[in-house]
Structure 1
């Protein structure tokens, strides 16, 4: 309070209108006495408080959320490759071939594809150097979608997540659906999706 009063007194004009400083108020605030013009001090303090509120709000808006990159998870490709091996062992070569190929593809993708959650959008990037992934081969456009355009998202199944789905209106106004295999840490993926895109409509957490 003493510092606020000191600031208000230093910059409050004197009554004689000569533009000088009101040293009487300055002395009163220094020695802890009641200022000679309390109403003026209150006005200055209120004005100063308003500036502090504005600066505080601006500071909050300027603060960015940290970038989150979920860790890779190799469980799905390992399960598929194990299934393909079991089928091949029992001479079920026809189903073993697609399971094995899909497992190899997902194994390769797990080593290179990254979901990058920055302050305003989810972006798909490539490799440890996080290189640009180029245009989406299925629907076109950059593989970057703002959270504000997300209509809904789901994670199937939370205990052993297989697919993540989301629908956004950035690619086209009526909404574009995306499916990705969960080749990332499912818990990290779920938590950051809840934080950045809001709760899922069916898989929770439920809004109160």
Structure 2
């Protein structure tokens, strides 16, 4: 899906892909906290607050794949850029219910909860990131 984000450079906007948000993980956490109330109320509160925090993150954070970088936007402002040339590895955990996106750069490691369309994420990763396996 091509993005229509007004904050992306119009020259590269036709080549950029913005991932749609996914609320699957936050919904599972919030729903799981309901029966947990009777077993452990404090844990239920922590789980539900974390789920609500992830709802907020999914609503405000966007990942945009461009020809050269993964750009992270928060509330329509570019927050961070990750050039593909610095990537060494990436993986989406777990096959049945993806919950975590991992990627390693030359100088750092990143873990992101899956708060976006995982199928488009995989497609973009396979399209844009060519990793040299040693």
- The two structures share one fold, judged by TM-score above 0.5: yes
Counterpart-to-counterpart distance in 1, 2:131 and 2:124: 10
Structure 2 partner of 1:184: 116
Q: How far does residue 131 in structure 1 lie from its aligned partner after superposition?
A: 1.2
Question: Which of structure 1's runs of 4+ aligned residues deviate more than 2 A?
Answer: 198-201
Quick one: which of 102, 107, 121 aligns to 2:69?
121
Structure 1 partner of 2:77: 131
Q: Does 1:149 align with 2:86?
A: yes
Structure 1 partner of 2:24: 75
State the structure with more CA Rg. 1
Higher RCO (C-alpha under 8 Å, 6+ residues apart)? 2
Counterpart-to-counterpart distance in 2, 1:180 and 1:72: 13
Is 2:68–2:84's contact at 8 Å kept on the other side of the alignment? yes
RMSD: 2.1
**TM-score, normalisation: structure 1:** 0.55
Is 2:84–2:129's contact at 8 Å kept on the other side of the alignment? yes
Which is strand-richer, 1 or 2? 2
For structure 1, the residue ranges without an aligned partner over 5 or more in a row are 1-62, 134-142, 170-174, 202-208
Counterpart-to-counterpart distance in 1, 2:25 and 2:16: 25
Where do 1:1-208 residues align within 5 Å? 66-88=15-37, 90-127=38-75, 130-133=76-79, 143-169=80-106, 175-198=107-130
Paired residue total: 122
**TM-score, normalisation: structure 2:** 0.83
Which is helix-richer, 1 or 2? 1
Is 1:161–1:186's contact at 8 Å kept on the other side of the alignment? yes
Counterpart-to-counterpart distance in 1, 2:72 and 2:85: 17
For structure 2, the residue ranges without an aligned partner over 5 or more in a row are 1-11
